[in-house]
Amino acid sequence: MVASPLAVGPVIAAHASATVAPAAAKCNVEVDSAGKYHVWGEGFPGGTTVTYSGSTSGSVPIDKSGRFDLGGLTGSKYVVKTADGKTTVTCAAVHH
């Protein structure tokens, strides 16, 4: 069991840094039960705002953990950009 905490330590450190590093930002989109689109992302700079564009556009605040969540949208293709313009992410379609 001594090796287990050592193996878990770097994973936790990598996960923690991924939530604040814009390079790790990702975005997903899927159809909800009402036939609308649900877009969410993680790994963005916490406490900032991102803009999204596609069939609908606007901006959304990023929570302290680096996540956002939007529902009731139309269209399945979205691009999310940080306010400073340094990170642009195309949302990947998720199918269940």
Q: What is the largest CA-CA distance in the chain?
A: 52
**Which one-letter amino acid corresponds to residue 68?**
F
Q: Is 80 helix (H, G, I), strand (E, B) or coil?
A: strand
In angstroms, the Cα distances linking 89 to 10, 42, 45 are 26, 11, 13
Q: Name the band, by pLDDT with cuts 50, 70 and 90, for residue 95.
A: confident
Which pLDDT tens digit goes with each residue over 34-54? 899 999 999 999 999 999 999
Q: Which residue has the higher pLDDT, 2 or 53?
A: 53
Q: pLDDT tens digits for 3-42?
A: 444 444 444 333 333 334 445 899 999 998 889 999 999 9
| pLDDT value for 96 | 66
Distance, CA of 94 to CA of 71 (rounded, Å): 14
